[in-house]
Amino acid sequence: MSKRKPVNILDPHMDPRKLIFMLVWPTIIEEFMSILVNYVDTAMVGSLGVYATASVAVSSPIVGMMVGIMMGLASGFGITFSRMIGEGRKGDALKVMQQSIYYALAMGGLMTFLFVVVFPDNLPRWMNAQPDIWETSGQYIRWFGYSRLFLVVNILCSQFLRGQGDTRTPMIANLSSNISNAIMNFLFIFPTRQITVFGLSFTMFGLGKGVAGAAMATSLANLIACSISVSRIFSPHNIVQFSFKGMEKPDFHMYKLIFSMGVPVALERSVTSFGMMMCSRLLAGISNQVVAAHSLANTAESICYMSVMGFGMAASTIVAQWLGADDPDRAMMLSTKCLKYAAIVSTCATIVLFIGAPYILDIFTNDAQVIAMGTFALRIQCAVEVIEALAMTISGILRGAGDVRITSLASIIGMWCVRVLLANILIRGFGFGLNGVWIPMALDWVCRFSILFTRYRSGKWRGAWAKNTGK
């Protein structure tokens, strides 16, 4: 086990920029590599044709919604854990980790049941997908479901590691997972075939499972990430080392505290994902090409929003610990710098996306219509990418402070009062195609940012923990 120690977030002498980027750079690399691997995955599936891409795309909203619920609830554990470290209550922080085991077993079991038993035969129909992709989409969903328990455990471990300043281990775990996923995709998706490299021909083994093979690879990759994360939380070099010693029965008082933080975030993410699913359902009734363009454009856009996700995560941990240490001024100063750096990084990523949109999409598909639709949609979104980055970072700041209700409210209003409502009007009323979803998407982020920035400027979030928890 590595002797590397987590970053000491509560060191008052550490340069703010150094602290922020020590926490952020592993997440940026992690997300960047995730993007590259996701690009490779999408290109592999896309090489099978539009029907294969659509088969995966149909399940993407429900997968995103379920992962959002899991991450939202897990954030309650992470926020509470970080706060207790800031308050110097390491014993209680350990108890939060121990109590998460019961949650992992319950949530992992539920997710497995839904993905393996309920969704495969029903979700494609619910999503209004074309009948010719029902079977392949169902196979993809079922294989995807076999690793839900491992995913839940990995999400929790990542929360605890990041909550004590260790962002490198989640990076290593997810990089290992992504690289393994890409390799296994290559072996599982395609059949055994002849390959020529530098003039040398040889037989490459392959299972030839197509779309289902992509889900098999993802499930095994989740197991790899989980194994790495679990091994790290037992390290004696952590601020809080996990141990089963003294583990108690489910503590419902502690769960009440944890879920007072996690449930609003889970509600936010589930309602947001459900709204995205409704928008995807609107597009599914148009054509497989539109569905594919929407999915591929979302994949391409990840180059922007994933490049700044680390600032929101870092800000959440920083704010939770410094407010726990009763220093709101330093929490405010560091959070403001997180916003500044997020805006700079997002601006650079947006320029790359605007110029490179058609070339990125060309990696995934050779369908000219899909590329043209996706490029136009991406360039619409580029107009608000920096605003989206700031909104995401402010959300992290507010969550770290325990001000989770306002972040949920902003997301629900933006998604349902702007994106879903306007998308229905543009598509059903005026016959818009793909842009009928992407124009409202851009306006959604403008709405969210306006609400969140107003809250941030008020400074009221610094006292939200006591107000929401009664402490």
Of 401, 370, 393, residue with least CA distance to 445: 393
**Using CA atoms, how far apart are residues 162 and 228, in angstroms rounded to an integer?**
14
- Tell me, yes or no, whether 317 lies in a domain: yes
Domain-embedded: residue 109? yes
Range of the domain at 143: 16-469
434-469 pLDDT, tens per residue? 999 999 999 999 999 999 999 999 989 988 787 666
Q: pLDDT tens digit string along 181-223?
A: 888 988 998 888 888 777 788 888 888 888 888 889 989 999 9
Q: What mean pLDDT, rounded, does the chain reach? A: 87
- Amino acid (1-letter code) at residue 221: A
Residue 288 has pLDDT above 80, yes or no: no
CA distance 260 to 106: 18
How far is residue 454 from each of residues 426, 449, 461, measured CA to CA in Å? 29, 8, 11
Q: How far is CA 212 from CA 18, 221, 418, in A?
A: 44, 14, 35
Q: Quote the pLDDT of residue 38.
A: 63
Domain assignment present for residue 401? The answer is yes
Pairing outcome for strands 191-197 and 200-207: antiparallel
> pLDDT per residue over 87-124, tens digit each?
999 999 999 999 999 999 999 999 999 999 998 888 88
In a domain, 384, yes or no: yes
The total number of structural domains in the chain stands at: 1
3-state secondary structure of 246: coil
Q: Report the predicted TM-score, pTM, of the whole model to 2 decimal places.
A: 0.79
Q: Within a 10 A sphere around the Cβ of 23, how many other Cβ atoms? A: 25
What's the CA gap between 457 and 471, in Å, rounded? Answer: 24
Please tell me the distance from the alpha carbon of residue 304 to that of residue 353, in angstroms, as a whole number.
Answer: 7
pLDDT of residue 1: 46
Query: How far is the C-alpha of 24 from the C-alpha of 162, rounded, in Å?
Result: 10
137-160 pLDDT tens trace: 888 889 988 999 999 999 999 999
pLDDT recorded at residue 445? 96
Residue 1 inside a domain? The answer is: no
User: Does 400 map to a domain?
Assistant: yes
Residue 103 counted as domain residue = yes
- Tens of pLDDT, residues 59-87: 777 777 788 888 889 999 999 999 999 99
d(CA 365, CA 293): 9
Token code pair at residue 358: 């058609």
Assess if residue 11 is contained within a domain: no
Note the pLDDT of residue 270: 83
Region 9-30: mean pLDDT is 87
pLDDT digits (tens, 9 = 90+) for 356-381: 999 989 887 888 999 999 999 999 99
pLDDT category of residue 470 using cuts at 50, 70 and 90: low
